[in-house]
Chain A
Amino acid sequence: MIIPIDLILLSLVVVLAIVAITVRDLLSAIMLLSAYSFLMAMVWVEMHSVDVAFTEAAVGAGASTAFLIAALSRTVRWEKK
């Protein structure tokens, strides 16, 4: 483990998670969740857990983003106040 890279990645993950639940545009929230999953995959690789990182990149950043966009296409894009 390389401590500075860990700190940068984990702080970016926290920032992305907070922004993803506060943003009002749902498409932006989905894209931020995708970036969050990708950064989590990098964190898993950093922790030498390549198998979990593989699953996170394939399911979290790939498939679930497509599912969420397909679900978003059946509702409105902007969250109400």
Chain B
Amino acid sequence: MNTEKSETGEGKKRSGDVIVETVSRVMVPFIQLFALYVIMHGSSGPGGGFQGGVIFGASFVLLVIAFGIVNAGDRFPEAVNTALFSTGVYIYAGVGLLCIICSFGAAQYLNYGFLSLPVHFEERRALGMDFIEIGVGITVMAVIAEIFFNLAWKKEEDEGEE
């Protein structure tokens, strides 16, 4: 990347290639829809919260690569990402604790069947699994996006100092 920048010179932040921008703009909603599908079908097939979260985070990474890292700081502030991955952990831990609370201490942590939902035992188990997957997916999505932004933003800061 350094060699490309020295070749083009001019200190241009990004080239603004129309093919890359159009393709990523068209593809990102489908990638995110596929990520949601993977998260919701994780209990009954291949996939799950981790894989869906990685795909969702990768869609943000693609968006940032295509449209330049400079403007991404306003769209994805670090405080929102921190709140998101805390929210995912709290959903996971909260559903787990709710199983103990709803059964008055009779069931184990994450024993979904004892959640007090107005459906059958097996449906409660499937729904609890889906809640857990949603929590894992939110956490993984925020962490993937945050790792990539931290790796890429440091470069911009260094260039600003030079």
- Give me the interface of A with B, judged by CB distance under 8 Å: 50-51, 53-55, 58-59, 62-63, 66-67, 69-74, 76-77
Give the distance in Å from the alpha carbon of A59 to the alpha carbon of B155 in the complex.
23
Query: Total interface residues on B, using CB and 8 Å?
Result: 23
- Give me the interface of B with A, judged by CB distance under 8 Å: 1-3, 38, 46-48, 50-51, 54-55, 57-58, 61, 65, 144, 147-148, 151-152, 154-155, 158
**CB–CB A63/B144 < 8 A:** yes
Main secondary structure of the interface of B (DSSP, over half): helix
Give every chain B residue within 8 A of A54 (Cβ-Cβ): 38, 46-47, 51
**CB–CB B51/A55 < 8 A:** yes
- Among residues of B, the one whose C-beta sits closest to the C-beta of A50 is B46
**Provided the pairs A54-B47, A55-B50 are in contact, do residues A63 and B1 lie with their beta carbons within 8 angstroms?**
no
Give every chain A residue within 8 A of B65 (Cβ-Cβ): 66
